[in-house]
Structure 1
Amino acid sequence: MIEDNNLYSPEFINRLKSGNREAFTQLVEETSSKIYNLALRMLEKEQDAEDVLQETYIKALRNISSFEGRSSVLTWLYRIATNEALMIMRKHKTSGTVVDIDQDDDEDGEGLQIVDWCCLPESEMMSKETQIKLQEAANLLSPLLKAVFLLRDVERLSGQETALILGINEDAVKTRLVRARLKLRERLTGYFSERIKMEVANE
């Protein structure tokens, strides 16, 4: 969950909305790493992530006077960045550079025994190798499923925040998160099965 602090206080928001450059510079300094990391996870390429970062703050500066405060300013920035990233992802998808596994078919998954990630110790789940495998699998999700997964399970945003960012309701977030997790488990079941066998053998 995104936590508010003095940076997002009413006084600070008023300074932003009045066009105070110092306040906007502070906002960029405090939030740019979060925005960039999300964009990089969504898009994989540094140049694309940098483009999203730049466009996010250009649009934020242009529209800050109309910020209504219905969410935190960081959630608002996440929404701008996510929308920019989704547009790029969908553009790549139409050019054939993104594999879409956001389909409600069971052909490939019929009879598949899905390994439960809870069987792995936390240290294994946090290992560099596992994180790489998880990111590779997430890169095969459709743009919207990937966005939901990253916002909820990686950025640890709430369902309400994720819904605000994506412009969908919370039930839709829950449904897509379940689908994303299931597809990731299907993709990673072989890898996790081997890791669990190794853990058992080493006990």
Structure 2
Amino acid sequence: MPGHEGGRTAADDQAFVDTVRQYAPRLYRHLLRLLQDPQDAEDALQETFLKAYQHLGDFRGQARLSTWLYRIATNEALMQLRRKNPAISLEALQGNDAPPDEVLLNQWQILPEQAALSAEVRQVLERAVQGLSPALRAVFLLRDVEGFSTRETAEILGISADAVKTRLSRARMRLREALARYFHESSSHRTEAAL
């Protein structure tokens, strides 16, 4: 059709608009968690959809559309973080992939799920997630918040499945440590108040 790039039709454009409507809220929340700034998240979201539209012909359907969009969004967020702080190396954004300490890894399972129900604990957890490195935060959000599989997370981030597992383990350990500090401080305050 005349006036459309790469042979796309008006129906193709409408399908893309529908895709934007479907994925924009979830991608925005993901970007906001990564970037921690609403304006930066909005900018990254616009860039994500612009790049997706420009490279629609590159999407071959080997992965789910959502996986492809999350990969574009996550890459855009990591690049924004790097532009904001050029001192951050690519390695720091990607994280260190050495094997985690198995003892600490097993301790993550001790955390009771009921603790997440408390609004105060949720705030502590959200602050702890924000304190993770971009690489750990991205893996944690994709796997444990967005529900992507290890394989999908690896595809989105362009890393190996083993790296996803390692980073997820590290992220969970750091979050567990933050919650353990919170519970230790809370119990200390309650004990002091009782005396």
TM over 0.5: yes
Which residue of 149, 152, 166 corresponds with 1:161?
A: 152
TM-score by length of 2: 0.76
Q: Secondary structure at the match of 1:132?
A: helix
What stretches of structure 1 of length at least 5 have no aligned partner?
A: 1-16, 105-111, 199-203
Q: Which residue identity does 1:37 align to in structure 2? A: R
Offset of residue 195 of structure 1: 5.9
Identity of aligned residues (%): 46
Task: Look up the match of 2:81.
Answer: 89
8 Å Cα contact 1:82/1:165 also seen in 2: yes
Listed as ranges, the matches of 1:149-188 within 5 Å are: 149-188=140-179
Q: Secondary structure at the match of 2:55?
A: helix
Offset of residue 135 of structure 1: 1.7
Offset of residue 189 of structure 1: 1.4
Offset of residue 139 of structure 1: 1.6
Q: Which residue identity does 1:176 align to in structure 2? A: R
Which range is displaced more, 126-135 or 34-43? Answer: 126-135
8 Å Cα contact 2:136/2:167 also seen in 1: yes
Greater share of residues in helix: 2
Offset of residue 50 of structure 1: 0.2
Question: How far apart in 1 are the matches of 2:144 and 2:178?
Answer: 17
Which range is displaced more, 135-144 or 164-173? Answer: 135-144
8 Å Cα contact 1:35/1:53 also seen in 2: yes
1:77 aligns with 2:74: no
Measured against aligned partners, the alpha-carbon deviations of 1:83-125 in whole angstroms (never above 9, x if no partner) come to: 01111223344468xxx8x679xxxxxxx9x975745353x31
TM-score by length of 1: 0.73
Which residue of 105, 109, 112 corresponds with 1:120?
A: 112
What stretches of structure 2 of length at least 5 have no aligned partner?
A: 1-6, 98-103, 191-195
Question: How far apart in 2 are the matches of 1:115 and 1:189?
Answer: 11
Number of residue pairs matched by the alignment: 171
